[in-house]
Amino acid sequence: MAIHFENVSKAYDLHSGTRTLFSSLTAITGSAKDARLFYALKDVSFHIGRGEAFVIIGRNGAGMSTILKIIAGITKPTSGVVEVNGLVSSLIELGAGFHPDLTGRENIYLSGAILGISKKYIDTKFKEIVDFAELWDFIDVPVKKYSSGMYARLGFSVAVSVDPEILIIDEILSVGDIFFQQKCFTKMREIIHKGTTFIFVTHDTPALQNLCDRAILLEGGRVEYLGNTTEAVNKYYQKIGSRFGRGQQPTVEKSVENRGCSEGLMNRVEIIEHSILEDNNNRHGPRGLEIVAARVVDESGADTFEVPMLGKLFFHILLRANQDIPEPCAGMHLYDRMGNLVFAAGTPQRHYLLPSLAAGEELVLKFDLTLSVGPGEYTFSLLVSEPSAEGGPNIGYFHDQFDLLGPVRVLADFSTVLPYYGIAQLPMKISHGAVVKGVTVSTNGRFRQFS
């Protein structure tokens, strides 16, 4: 076992260093002792096996960084048992472990010394570190003159190049450019494959599902869920947003796309008899609004998950309200074989307003989707929600969600020219002008025509 937490709590004295005469007197008498304590963690228990890729998720302030700092030895728990077995290398805060007045070169050796690594060993790794960071032009410059991206480059390079047994990465990589981020994720996959215990804190849900086997979800310093990464992500999304109270629902102007009942909709019996949801156990949500059944057909009406590139699939979905839903929303997510989110949209993104539903009412809707993605296999999710009372227009309150549906197989005919290459087709137009004789520029700046 690499890491073991048992009933770990971490409390901070909110008045430490800012005492008034009154607060000092109450501290002496012992009154209001607990009132001034803030618990960043409360009775947290979990373990991480050797070689495991583990992610910690939660909303800001849930306690993720506190756990990382305890594992890294930066801070100690107030109570509980913590066991860490192995050399820990961490990238938690921008510039942590770096002295601003020292150069990049000097800070590499300083970081090694802090980790207990000899200068001789760092000598053998120095070129690898600087090559990965791509900072040869700045390696002898004081790091206080580095940009945040340069800090992240150097910090990550040191963290992964010292061959740690336990690697901790916080969301610090978000400051880097996209090319370096891709380079970092490739490196993280490589060290995970070698058996390094990997602990990740991020809000990038496709990345964490791609990298990590198991997850812990924190809420208010307590363990909300521990287990499967996909399940943790869905429970995390359920924590985002909240329902509007009675009479608080915003007034939304009806979209021009919503022109009454559409043609080509199946009835509830046709959907239920061919539902794809029967054996799916990846379902989450309180189900105030629920997905009763869903059926997928192609343009000929055949039940299938196979479609040619640029072909269409039709998703017929039966919804039921188990409580009054003033503004129901529905959508879908599409993921590639690596778990990366390829596409996500629904009624809010299409500015399509579904009719309000009273408790007990049902509604059939249809998604008409053109698969303008690369050939391969994709899983998808179906979900229903409402607008959230918090978090802005891009946050919803989720009622019901089915994950890992499919797989959808997008087929290519390689005997002909493919309509596009890559992950997806983007709108593209090509135009050209009339054919003319060429021109060149003479030495005196005048144009002359040539044939």
Euclidean distance between the first and final Cα of the chain, in Å? 78
pLDDT for 256 equals 43
Per the domain annotation, does 208 fall within a domain?
A: yes
CA distance linking residue 237 with residue 59, whole number of Å: 10
Q: Grade residue 309 by pLDDT with cuts at 50, 70 and 90.
A: very high
Residue 259 has a CB neighbour count (10 Å cut-off) of 8
Q: Which pair of tokens denotes residue 295?
A: 């059926």
Q: pLDDT tens-digit profile of 6-36?
A: 999 999 987 665 555 555 555 555 555 555 7
CA–CA separation, 100 vs 23, rounded Å?
37
Residues 327 and 209 in one domain: no
Q: Between the CA of residue 335 and those of 233, 385, 404, what are the distances in Å?
A: 14, 20, 9
The pLDDT value recorded for residue 56 is 94
Residues 165, 121: one domain? yes
Better pLDDT: 449 or 137 = 137
Q: Examine the domain organization and report whether 200 and 274 are in the same domain.
A: no
Q: Is residue 224 included in any domain, yes or no?
A: yes
Confirm whether 426 is domain-assigned: no
Crossing angle of helices 148-161 and 119-133, rounded to 10°: 130
If you count them, how many residues does the chain have?
451
Q: Tell me, yes or no, whether 298 lies in a domain.
A: yes
Residue pLDDT, tens place only, 345-358: 999 999 999 999 99
Cβ contact 12:40 at 8 Å: yes
Same domain for 282 and 134: no
Whether residues 229 and 274 share a domain: the answer is no
Same-domain pairing of 227 and 284: no
Tens of pLDDT along 209-237? 778 889 999 999 999 999 988 888 878 87
Report which of residues 263 and 319 the model is more confident about. Answer: 319
Q: Which residue has the higher pLDDT, 245 or 279?
A: 279
**pLDDT bucket at 254, cuts 50 / 70 / 90:** very low
Concatenated DSSP letters of 220-244? TTEEEEEEEHHHHHHHHHHHS--PP
Provide the CATH number for the domain around residue 179. 3.40.50.300
| One domain, residues 205 and 91 | yes
47: helix, coil or strand? Answer: strand
Whether the Cβ atoms of residue 401 and residue 284 lie closer than 8 Å to each other = yes
Helix, strand, coil share (%) of the chain residues, nearest 5: 25, 35, 40
Alpha-carbon gap, residue 131 to 396, rounded angstroms: 43
Domain that holds residue 390: 265-411
Alpha-carbon distance of 83 to 3, in angstroms, equals 6
Domain boundary among 218, 237, 256: 237
Tokens of 281: 């156990």
The average pLDDT across 250-271 equals: 66
* pLDDT of 84: 95
**SS3 state at 289:** strand
The residue among 55, 59, 56, 57 whose CA lies nearest residue 395 is: 59
In the predicted model, what is the mean pLDDT of residues 173-182? Answer: 66
**More confident of the two residues 72 and 250:** 72
Domain membership flag for residue 432: no
Using a 10 angstrom Cβ sphere, with 0-12 exposed, 13-18 middle and 19 or more buried, the burial of residue 410 is buried
- Do residues 112 and 192 lie in contact, with contact meaning Cβ atoms separated by under 8 Å? no
- Based on the domain organization, do 232 and 277 belong to the same domain? no
The CA distance from 6 to 140, in Å, is 44
**DSSP string covering 28-41:** HHTTTTGGGEEEEE
Do residue 223 and residue 284 come from a single domain?
A: no
Tell me, yes or no, whether 283 and 348 share the same domain. yes
**Residue 61 predicted with pLDDT over 60:** yes
For residue 362, give the CATH number of its domain. Answer: 2.70.50.60
Residue 258 falls inside a structural domain: no
Cα 434 from Cα 27, distance rounded (Å): 87
pTM: 0.64
pLDDT beyond 90 at 290: yes
Sign of CA dihedral 119, 124, 127, 133: negative
- Residue 423 in any domain: the answer is no
369 and 281 belong to one structural domain: yes
Residue 266 is given by DSSP the state: P
Q: Note whether 277 and 365 are same-domain residues.
A: yes
Is the residue at 203 inside a domain?
yes
Q: Which of 79, 76, 129, 80 is nearest to 107 (CA)?
A: 129
Looking at the 3D structure of the chain, how many domains does it have? 2
Q: Longest C-alpha distance within the chain, in Å?
A: 100
Categorize the per-residue pLDDT at 98 as very low, low, confident or very high, splitting at 50, 70 and 90.
Answer: confident
